[in-house]
Amino acid sequence: MRPIIEIVGLSKTYASGFTALKHVDLEIQRGEIFALLGPNGAGKTTLISIVCGIVNPSTGTVHVGGHEIRKDFRATRSLIGLVPQELTTDAFESVWATVSFSRGLFGLPPNPAHIEKVLKELSLWDKKDSRIMMLSGGMKRRVLIAKALSHEPKVLFLDEPTAGVDVSLRKDMWEVVRKLRDSGVTIILTTHYLEEAEEMADRIGVITKGELILIEDKAVLMRKLGKKQLTLHLHERLDALPESLSAYSLALNSDGQELIYTYDIQAERTGITRLLKDLAEAGIRFRDLNTTQSSLEDIFVDLVRQTQ
Amino acid sequence: MNYHGMRAIYRFEMARTGRTLMQSIVSPVISTSLYFVVFGAAIGSRINQIEGVSYGAFIVPGLIMLTLLTQSIANASFGIYFPRFTGTIYELLSAPLSFIEILVGYVGAAASKSIILGLIILATAGFFVPLHIAHPFWMLAFLLLTSVAFSLFGFIIGIWADGFEKLQIIPLLIITPLTFLGGTFYSISVLPAPWNTIALFNPVVYLVSGFRWSFYEVADVSVVLSLFMTVAFLAICLAVVGWMFKTGYRLRN
Ligand SMILES: Nc1ncnc2c1ncn2[C@@H]1O[C@H](COP(=O)(O)OP(=O)(O)OP(=O)(O)O)[C@@H](O)[C@H]1O
Ligand SMILES: [Mg+2]
């Protein structure tokens, strides 16, 4: 099936002359949760804004649900719900009014039952008659999510939905996101919390300085991350690895004090017992040992550092 | 066409009026009443009839025009500027709405408010002076055309402005002087030369004159010319809006 979002050669240079996106290609599959990671100013919001029709692209094309975003803007925008990064809400309207307003804007007839369902899912029901300005920041975030869901979108963009949000709302929110995904909604989120991407996403993209530097299945990424390292701190420094140990994936650090063994935790046998035995036979003794597992965060930080 | 979208904007804007009833309805009515007291009663008692119409009655169409112009501009410019200012415009831009539909929502609401206000002031005036409307159809036509044209103008200002100061500057520096100099309180024929000729460059003269004609059949300039000028102003505003639409001016980066 055709991807729900197809971005080809997308670039954006703002009027100020700043290039926020450089030739981005990206395909989002129907029904997946895609996490877009990247440091501040990487271009995440710019990318989302272009797909949603808030910012005009400089070059490149975007198709949503098979429709081009400028020529068929009605079709593409009807499919999309957006929760913006900034807490921008009306002030004087009631929660109910503002969410109903959003549904109307997107061209749908009133449906109080749907609005009620959305408000209840987001624990906003008892606040439905409150003026928005009376709500706390986290509650306003919920209102923004409710607005985005008011017109039953097929694609949902969440631009840093958990910034400034407490644990309970975060749990509520992921609950809602999972339900949406189960009902076939495609979700694209940006976040600075890597655990979140790790927990929620099916695929992960990393963007820095306007370039997508990595797009990977989370499962594949986790397999890569599934590697663990055993570091042995040696008693005496070694100049080279003994011949008898050449079968292992061993590395000696530059000062010869540490021996690093990389293994796959998912493999049936890690080979550690045998390695330790062979080390003893080779007369290599060690003072200490520790193991490390690289997290998504390490990979991410490494990647971003490499491109700088 | 996204009818639900247009309706949502229209109702949102009308609800805003409801919330600010004091500011948007009551205060224009009070200030107009004050004009009646000051100009109609106090000064009017010393002024003879103008072209067979008592002074109090003579200024009614001009006062209504004054309100129409200022309120249409204020409502429409604020309506579109405020979401830009707060950032809630993101939703409008990401909705499946064409620029025309957005325009119909905002300008339609601003014009509706002006028309309602104009009719309220007309009714208020009825308490002070005996009113006579010779051509009700044309009265309503001028009311409608002027409200729409100046709401469009206000919409343009609301998109052009990048601060509250700019939002105020055009109504304050251009519209208010033009209205006061545009024959609101007098017939421009009473002006000495060359001012009665210079006044003809003031577009408001044509609006007031045409509107007054629909009441009392007295006019400074021919009605056809008045109508033509009103429609021309409307067309210019539409052209500017069309250009804004094409270029995404100040709305989409
Ligand atoms: N309207 C604008 N005019 C000029 N430059 C802009 C504009 N909007 C954003 N930028 C610049 O484009 C770059 C990308 O911004 P963007 O908001 O897309 O980043 P981001 O990845 O969402 O960052 P963050 O994590 O901080 O939200 C930034 O350097 C920003 O300064
Ligand atoms: Mg951002």
3-state secondary structure A160-201: CCCCCCCHHHHHHHHHHHHHHHHCCCEEEEECCCHHHHHHHC
Q: Which CATH number fits domain A5-222: 3.40.630.30, 3.90.1300.10, 3.40.50.300, 3.30.565.10?
A: 3.40.50.300
Partner-chain contact A90 B88, CB within 8 Å: yes
- Residue B234 has a CB neighbour count (10 Å cut-off) of 17
Say whether pLDDT at B45 is over 80: no
Say whether pLDDT at A194 is over 80: no
Å from CA of A41 to ligand 1 middle: 5
CATH number of A226-307: 3.30.70
Per domain, the residue ranges of chain A are 5-222, 226-307
pLDDT attached to residue A308: 62
* B-proximal residues of A, 119-148, CB under 8 Å: 147
pLDDT attached to residue B102: 93
pLDDT attached to residue B199: 85
Of A14, A77, A109, the CB nearest to B253: A14
pLDDT tens-digit profile of A203-223? Answer: 999 898 999 988 988 888 777
**B52 vs B87 pLDDT, higher one:** B87
Nearest CA in chain B to A51: B94
pLDDT, mean of residues A238-242: 82
pLDDT tens-digit profile of B104-154? Answer: 999 999 999 999 999 999 988 888 888 889 999 999 999 999 999 999 999
What length is written for chain A?
308
pLDDT band of residue B97 (cuts 50, 70, 90) is very high
- % pLDDT > 70, chain A: 95
Residue from A140, A6, A1, A115 nearest A61 by CA: A6
Alpha-carbon distance B151 to nearest alpha carbon in chain A (angstroms): 21
pLDDT, mean of residues A64-82: 95
Say whether pLDDT at B181 is over 80: yes
Residue from A198, A137, A125 nearest A169 by CA: A137
pLDDT band of residue A226 (cuts 50, 70, 90) is low
pLDDT attached to residue B13: 93
Say whether pLDDT at A225 is over 70: no
CA atoms within 13 A on the CB side of B61: 34
Backbone angles phi, psi at A109, to 5 degrees: -70, 155
pLDDT attached to residue A246: 80
pLDDT band of residue A254 (cuts 50, 70, 90) is confident
pLDDT band of residue A284 (cuts 50, 70, 90) is confident
pLDDT, mean of residues A88-101: 92
pLDDT, mean of residues A194-198: 79
Ligand 1 binding site (Cβ under 6 Å of any ligand atom):
A 14, 16, 18, 20, 38, 40-46, 85; B 253
Å from CA of A8 to ligand 1 middle: 20
* Contact criterion met (CB below 8 Å) for A211 and A22: yes
The mean predicted confidence, pLDDT, of chain A is 89
Which residues lie below 8 Å from residue A169, measured CB to CB, with a gap of 6+? A138, A141, A142
What residues of chain A lie within 8 A of the CB of B88, using their CB? 88-90
pLDDT attached to residue A296: 65
Residue from A20, A168, A21, A4 nearest A76 by CA: A4
Beta pairing, strands A250-252 & A258-264: antiparallel
**B32 vs B212 pLDDT, higher one:** B212
Global pTM reads 0.85
Å from CA of A45 to ligand 2 middle: 4
B interface test, pick of A105, A108, A144, A151 with most B CB neighbours within 10 Å: A105
Say whether pLDDT at B26 is over 70: yes
pLDDT attached to residue A14: 93
- % pLDDT > 90, chain B: 49
pLDDT attached to residue A84: 95
What residues of chain B lie within 8 A of the CB of A53, using their CB? 93-94, 252
Token pair in block for residue A209: 């300085």
The mean predicted confidence, pLDDT, of chain B is 88
pLDDT tens-digit profile of A263-281? Answer: 876 677 778 888 888 888 8
Any CB–CB contact under 8 A between A167 and chain B?
Answer: no
Say whether pLDDT at B24 is over 90: no
Least confident range from A123-127, A187-191, A258-262: namely: A258-262
DSSP assignments along chain A, one per residue: ---SEEEEEEEEE-TTS-EEEEEEEEEE-TT-EEEEE--TTSSHHHHHHHHHTSS--SEEEEEETTEETTTTHHHHHHHEEEE-SS----SSSBHHHHHHHHHHHTT----HHHHHHHHHHTT-GGGTTSBGGGS-HHHHHHHHHHHHHTT--SEEEEESTTTT--HHHHHHHHHHHHHHHHTT-EEEEE-S-HHHHHHH-SEEEEEETTEEEEEEEHHHHHHHHTEEEEEEEESS--SS--GGGTTS-EEE-TTSSEEEEEEETTSS---HHHHHHHHHHTT--EEEEEEEE--HHHHHHHHHHHT-
pLDDT band of residue A106 (cuts 50, 70, 90) is very high
pLDDT attached to residue A28: 96
pLDDT attached to residue B130: 82
Among all bound ligands, the one having the nearest atom to the CA of A191 is: 1
Of B3, B4, B94, the CB nearest to A82: B94
Say whether pLDDT at A295 is over 70: no
Residues A205, A43: Cα–Cα separation, whole Å? 12
* Atom 7 of ligand 1, residue of closest alpha carbon: A14
- Residue B106 has a CB neighbour count (10 Å cut-off) of 28
